Amino acid sequence: MCGLVALITAHREAARLAPAVERVLPWAQHRGPDETSVHRDADVVFGFDRLAVIDLAGSHQPLPYGPPDAPGRYTIVFNGELYNFPELRAELARRHGARFRTSGDAEVVVTAYAHWGPAAVQRLRGMFAFLIWDALERVLFGARDPFGIKPLYVAAGPAGTAFASEKKCLLQLAPALGPRARHLDVDARAVQDYLTFQYVPEPATMHTAIRRIPAGTWFTVRPGGAIRRTRYFSPRLAAHPVAEPAAVHARIAGALRDSVAVHMRADVPVGAFLSGGIDSTAIAALATQHNPRLLTFTAGFAHEGYSEVQQAAETAAAIGSEHIVRVVEPEELTAELPRIVWYLDDPVADPALVPLWFIAREARKHVTVVLSGEGADELFGGYAIYREPLALAPFSKLPHGVRGALGRLSATLPDGVRGKDLLRRGALPLEERYYGNARIFRDDQLAHVLRWYDPHRSHTTLTAPIYAESAGWDPVARMQHVDVLTWLRGDILVKADKMTMANSLELRVPFLDPAVFAAAAGLPTEQKLAGGTTKYALRCALRGIVPDAVLWRPKLGFPVPIRHWLRDEIYPWARDLVRASGADRVVDLAGVQDMLDAHRRGTVDHSRRIWALLVFLIWHGIFVEERIPSPTLATACAVSVARMPSPTIPLQRSP
CB of 323 closer than 8 Å to CB of 308: no
CB of 157 closer than 8 Å to CB of 178: yes
Kindly give, in sequence order, each residue whose CB lies less than 8 Å from that of residue 522, ignoring residues fewer than 6 positions away.
236, 237, 238, 239, 240
CA neighbor of 614 nearest in space, from 344, 334, 416: 334
Order of strands, edge to edge, in the sheet holding 217-221?
63-65, 74-82, 126-134, 139-144, 217-221, 228-231
At residue 188, the 3 state secondary structure works out as helix
**Would you list the DSSP string of 557-623?**
-----HHHHTTTTTHHHHHHHHHH---TTTB-HHHHHHHHHHHHHTSS--HHHHHHHHHHHHHHHHH
The 3 state secondary structure assigned to 72-109 is CCEEEEEEEEECCHHHHHHHHHHHHCCCCCCCCCHHHH
* Neighbour-count burial of 401, counting CB atoms closer than 10 A to its CB (0-12 exposed, 13-18 middle, 19+ buried): exposed
> Which one is catalytic: 2, 169, 540, 637?
2
**Would you list the DSSP string of 598-616?**
HHHHTSS--HHHHHHHHHH
Q: Is the dihedral of CA 302, 305, 308, 311 positive or negative?
A: positive
Whole-angstrom distance, CA of residue 614 vs CA of residue 17: 38
Pairing of strands 270-273, 295-301: parallel
DSSP state of 298: E
CB of 3 closer than 8 Å to CB of 165: yes
2 tagged catalytic = yes
At residue 537, the 3 state secondary structure works out as helix
CA neighbor of 385 nearest in space, from 351, 435, 441: 435
- Catalytically annotated residues: 2
